[in-house]
Amino acid sequence: MQIKELGETGVLNCIKTHSQGEDSQVIIGIGDDAAVINPKPGFLSLYACHMLVENSHFILNRSTPFQIGYKGVTKSVADIEAMGAASRFLLVGLSLPPDTPAQFIEELYEGIYAANAVCGISTIGGDISDCQGPITICLTIVGEAKAEDITTREGAREGDYIVVTGALGAAAAGLHLVLNDISLDTPEAVQEVLQKQLQPEPPWGKGTTLARSGAVTAMTDISDSLSHNLDKICKASNKGAILELKDLPIAAPAKIVAAAAGCDVLEWALNGGEDFELLACVDPGKLSQVQELMQQNGHDIYVIGRIIDQTGLYIRQDDQLKALSPKGFDHFL
């Protein structure tokens, strides 16, 4: 069955049949003209928006609708966690061709709600429109945090340690396989990098834990790439950075896939993006307490470099310091 056979009301009913956990802050959710939320006293609200456009952000014959929905939530959560906040509510806008299978809606929301359940998010509404293509999904996420926990890109200081919250390069390895339709005789590694690309886990709790430490001076997520997003922090803070090649946590399956495919895994780790980990600058006198707090909450943390006063990015390899040109995803390049 196609959605043109259901009509707008039928599509809405299809969405509403999916159950999700109730949230006491939601007074009115899906089904009315607007959602009504009871704000939590003492907290500020944060808002972020993501567009998922067919053939730009996902390829229908390479991703399942479940994976598209799940990854969309992951991308959104990364933005909120990067500010030191917790994700709470989600609005979903859909622009779909009339011949879109109704099953697409079913599976898309199964993926959205599965990721929501991991992070304690409630979908509270949205909008639906027809189009001639491509499929476009707009996710607006609402987060909340105490004022003292909100962390921006601006604020890195000379001497700060640069840290990341997970291994790098796997998502870029997966994207390489998806775009080039490559078959490799490394099935476990292939499966791992494809999972990281198509259905990555949200960095739930990582940014809020870092913010609660009181030791983070600047933070962002690395959806566009490590080098690109570090450059954003440095420019916002009027500082530079030195990365230590030996300390970069390159994902083991990415190394395996790179060797089998004849690719440069360092390029993936530095410039690939979509690992959806967090990148933060930490007060050098408080590094140990940050590491302990992250460990207590079950999160990884890797020290990969230092902030310097001189602007620009550099990487040290075998005691040689080289300039690093930031590269990463740009919609219009």
How confident is the model at residue 332, as a pLDDT?
Answer: 53
332 burial type by CB count under 10 A (0-12 exposed, 13-18 middle, 19+ buried): exposed
* Phi, psi (rounded to 5 degrees) for 137: -120, 130
CA–CA distance, 274 with 258 (Å, rounded to integer):
17
CATH code of the region 3-149 = 3.30.1330.10
Strands 122-130 and 136-145: unpaired
DSSP 32: S
How confident is the model at residue 333, as a pLDDT?
Answer: 55
How confident is the model at residue 93, as a pLDDT?
Answer: 96
pLDDT under 70: residue ranges of the chain: 16-22, 329-333
Question: Residue by residue, what is the 3-state secondary structure of 296-312?
Answer: HCCCCCEEEEEEECCCE
Matching CATH topology for 3-149 and 161-323? no
How confident is the model at residue 7, as a pLDDT?
Answer: 77
SS3 184: coil
Decide if 84 contacts 155 (C-beta within 8 A). Answer: no
How confident is the model at residue 12, as a pLDDT?
Answer: 72
The pTM for the full model equals 0.93
Q: Which CATH class is domain 161-323?
A: alpha beta
Report the candidate in 66, 71, 94, 116 with the shortest Cα–Cα distance to residue 6: 94
Residues facing residue 26 across a β-bridge: 37
How confident is the model at residue 139, as a pLDDT?
Answer: 97
Can you spell out the DSSP letters for 191-240? HHHHHHHHSPPP-TTHHHHHHHTT-EEEEEE-SS-HHHHHHHHHHHHT-E
How confident is the model at residue 5, as a pLDDT?
Answer: 74
Domain boundaries, the chain: 3-149, 161-323
How confident is the model at residue 17, as a pLDDT?
Answer: 66
